[in-house]
């Protein structure tokens, strides 16, 4: 049952299967000013890649900046759920961690997703959202289009 649930959450969290992120070829990951280290950056990279594609191609398909940002938050929250589920499964095998600790970790992940990553792009990302005339040449490629959908 755990494996089935985890598999379903992985499908929601982004199309990253076996370490391959099809959206990465069109994106630059989670860009952070001055390349500062940031918690959950690696976990959120597939979400950042999809968000980059949405900002560069979304207008071509009638997807607004706000819709891109909302999808970004949704994908990060799904990644946090997968992260939390895998940590919870590991702790069930080891009695050293408590349930409360895992709830706090998931809460920290989702809080970081919303209060740091989402708020940053929602407030400051407007300069990077391309209008219809400014969409990238790759936006018609099937792989890029697949990055725009769940």
**Residues annotated catalytic, as ranges:** 51
Angle made by CA atoms 24, 12, 33, in degrees to the nearest 5? 40
From the centroid of its chain, how far is CA 131? 22
Residues 6+ apart with CB under 8 A from 48: 27, 29, 30, 31, 72, 117
- For residues 55 and 130, the answer to whether their CB atoms sit within 8 Å is yes
In which element (H, E) is residue 14 found? Answer: none
Neighbours of 2 (CB within 10 A): 11
Task: Return the sign of the alpha-carbon dihedral for residues 11, 7, 81, 21.
Answer: negative
């Amino acid at each position: 049952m755990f494996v089935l649930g985890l598999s379903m959450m992985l499908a929601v969290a982004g199309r990253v299967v076996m370490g391959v992120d099809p959206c990465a070829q069109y994106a630059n990951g989670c860009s952070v000013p001055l390349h500062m280290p940031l918690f959950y950056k690696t976990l959120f990279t597939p979400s950042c890649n999809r968000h980059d594609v949405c900002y560069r191609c979304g207008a071509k398909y009638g997807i607004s900046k706000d819709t891109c940002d909302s999808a970004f938050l949704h994908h990060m929250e799904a990644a946090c759920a997968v992260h939390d589920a895998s940590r919870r499964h590991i702790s069930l095998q080891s009695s050293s961690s408590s349930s409360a600790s895992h709830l706090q970790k998931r809460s920290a992940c989702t809080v970081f997703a919303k209060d740091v990553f989402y708020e940053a792009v929602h407030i400051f990302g407007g300069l990077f959202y391309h209008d219809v005339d400014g969409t990238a040449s790759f936006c018609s490629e099937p792989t890029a289009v697949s990055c725009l959908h769940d």
